[in-house]
Chains A and B, each alone.
Chain A
Amino acid sequence: KQEVTQIPAALSVPEGENLVLNCSFTDSAIYNLQWFRQDPGKGLTSLLLIQSSQREQTSGRLNASLDKSSGRSTLYIAASQPGDSATYLCAVTQGGSEKLVFGKGTKLTVNP
């Protein structure tokens, strides 16, 4: 059974810092990996989607990398801002399936 782990569970940084969020998964036979952002009391917003054959995806100040063989992904946030404060979730799909298996998230706080 696929398990997704995100470490740390919570992170607090000063504004302007570059930071890395980690995601690991136990079964490397994934199809896609998707990073989401969730604001308190809100739904999930898709940030980046990486296909298993890809190594990274970039969107603005966000860069997600994928090392399928080692079962790891990282989300890099450059020049963090208070507006980046949210919970970040990582999720994977297995081959041939569109069902997502989620990690429990990393709660990020960026202090002004």
Chain B
Amino acid sequence: DAEITQSPRHKITETGRQVTLACHQTWNHNNMFWYRQDLGHGLRLIHYSYGVHDTNKGEVSDGYSVSRSNTEDLPLTLESAASSQTSVYFCASSYLAGVGLYEQYFGPGTRLTVT
């Protein structure tokens, strides 16, 4: 079955380290998204991509980067991890459900702790 996977599922890292979170989808969706979820803030968009070599900043992009070298993967990199980046990270991809109607599907999440 087609799916969207994230790895690792749990990660503990130290302040200042570079961290990369992986996202892989097998639906061949063009659009992919990264969100973070925090208590009191809900889900917020970090970066998104509408296709290979396309990347765009979301609402909370500072300190994060993405690259899209193929359709299936959108890795999220924290350049220099900070304690404020402790969060649960979700990757999503979207599918054209109808004319102009995109439905997003989410991965299981990665819980990142920065100490």
- From 38 to 76 in chain A, residues with beta carbon under 8 angstroms from any chain B beta carbon are 41-46, 49, 51
Chain A residues at the B interface, C-beta cutoff of 8 Å:
31-32, 34, 36, 41-46, 49, 51, 89, 91, 93, 98-100, 102-105
Instruction: Report B-chain residues with C-beta under 8 Å of the C-beta of A93.
Output: 102
Q: State whether A103 and B42 are in contact (beta carbons under 8 Å apart), knowing that A51-B98, A98-B31 are contacts in the complex.
A: yes
- From 9 to 39 in chain B, residues with beta carbon under 8 angstroms from any chain A beta carbon are 31, 33, 35
Cα–Cα distance between A102 and B100 once the two chains are bound (Å): 19
Give which listed residue, A41, A46, A103, A105, contacts B104 with CB less than 8 A.
A46
Chain B residues at the A interface, C-beta cutoff of 8 Å:
31, 33, 35, 40-45, 48, 50, 58, 90, 92, 94, 97-98, 100-109
Q: Told that A42-B109, A91-B43 touch, could you supply 11 new A-B pairs with CB distance under 8 A?
A: A34-B103, A42-B108, A44-B92, A45-B106, A46-B104, A89-B42, A93-B102, A99-B33, A99-B45, A100-B45, A104-B41
Minimal beta-carbon separation of A55 from chain B (angstroms): 15
Q: Are B90 and A43 in contact (CB under 8 A)?
A: yes
Q: State whether A34 and B104 are in contact (beta carbons under 8 Å apart), knowing that A42-B109, A99-B45 are contacts in the complex.
A: yes
Instruction: Report A-chain residues with C-beta under 8 Å of the C-beta of B98.
Output: 51
Cα–Cα distance between A43 and B88 once the two chains are bound (Å): 10
Q: Are B97 and A43 in contact (CB under 8 A)?
A: no
Minimal beta-carbon separation of A33 from chain B (angstroms): 11
Cα–Cα distance between A72 and B102 once the two chains are bound (Å): 20
Instruction: Report B-chain residues with C-beta under 8 Å of the C-beta of A46.
Output: 103-106
The 3 A-B pairs of least Cβ separation, nearest first, read A104-B42, A44-B106, A102-B43
